[in-house]
Amino acid sequence: MSLASFSDLAAESEPSLDELALSLAGELKEVDADAALAELDRLGAELAPAAGGRAVAEVEALRELLGRRHGFAGARDEYDHPDNSMLDLVLERRKGLPILLSIVYVEVARRAGIALAGVGLPGHYVVGHFGQTPPLLLDPFGAGAAVELAAPLEIRAWGPHETALRMLNNLVGSYRRRSDLIRAIRTAELRLELPLAESDKAALGAEARALRARLN
């Protein structure tokens, strides 16, 4: 299939998270979107028999399928490498950043009819099963381990736009640390395609301009 551009998907009110992540990767490299989506479909079909049970059982089925059987876990060597932020490569290598592994969990669960969503925490990103209250939290970076919060925090489902913004923030930093100025500028500009608060848009626009000025 031919994916819509990142700009077009970012303009939608509720874009598909898998397509948004793949279109983001496609702005920076060649991506086989059909293969990536087919892999998510295959994993979703494997998970589907577990759907419809208790939330605890669905969470355990997710952990067993993705964390144990298929070995999805955190990329601990060269943690912030840009490849760890590319959904197609994460599906292929079974390693990635917390936010990309969380997208895998969310999209596999969605295909199986399980109520999972990404949850941004300070300095981390996990997933929550929202089929019960409070939601059950899993850490895809830790192969689906249960998350126990040391202090009370607001737990809410994150939308695709704010998830994409956090992905792009990671990539801007990763490319800057590698002195890849062209891609740092491109990812900084992609952030401006997302719906942003005026204060955020001004700050991110200023950062993009500062990066472009370094090319002169």
pLDDT at 216: 72
pLDDT at 132: 85
One-letter amino acid at 211 equals: L
Please report whether residue 82 resides in a domain: yes
Instruction: From 140, 158, 176, give the residue that closes a domain.
Output: 158
Please report whether residue 1 resides in a domain: no
Please report whether residue 51 resides in a domain: yes
Number of residues that this document lists for the chain: 216
Both 44 and 114 in a single domain? yes
d(CA 129, CA 172): 30
Please report whether residue 92 resides in a domain: yes
Both 102 and 169 in a single domain? no
Both 106 and 126 in a single domain? yes
SS3 127: strand
Smallest Cα–Cα separation from 51: which of 121, 156, 131? 131
> What's the N-to-C CA distance of the chain in angstroms?
39
Both 107 and 169 in a single domain? no
CATH number assigned to the domain comprising residue 64:
3.10.620
Domain count for the chain = 2
Give the domain extent around 123. Answer: 6-158
**Beta carbons of 107 and 17 less than 8 angstroms apart:** yes
pLDDT at 200: 93
User: What is the mean pLDDT of each successive set of 10 residues along the chain, which is 216 residues long?
Assistant: 89 96 97 97 96 91 96 91 97 97 98 95 93 91 90 88 97 96 97 95 96 87
Both 144 and 165 in a single domain? no
pLDDT at 66: 97
Please report whether residue 124 resides in a domain: yes
In sequence order, which ranges of 27-144 are alpha helices (DSSP H)? 33-47, 55-62, 87-93, 98-112
d(CA 175, CA 81): 8
pLDDT at 77: 86
Both 171 and 128 in a single domain? no
Both 74 and 112 in a single domain? yes
pLDDT at 182: 96
Please report whether residue 28 resides in a domain: yes
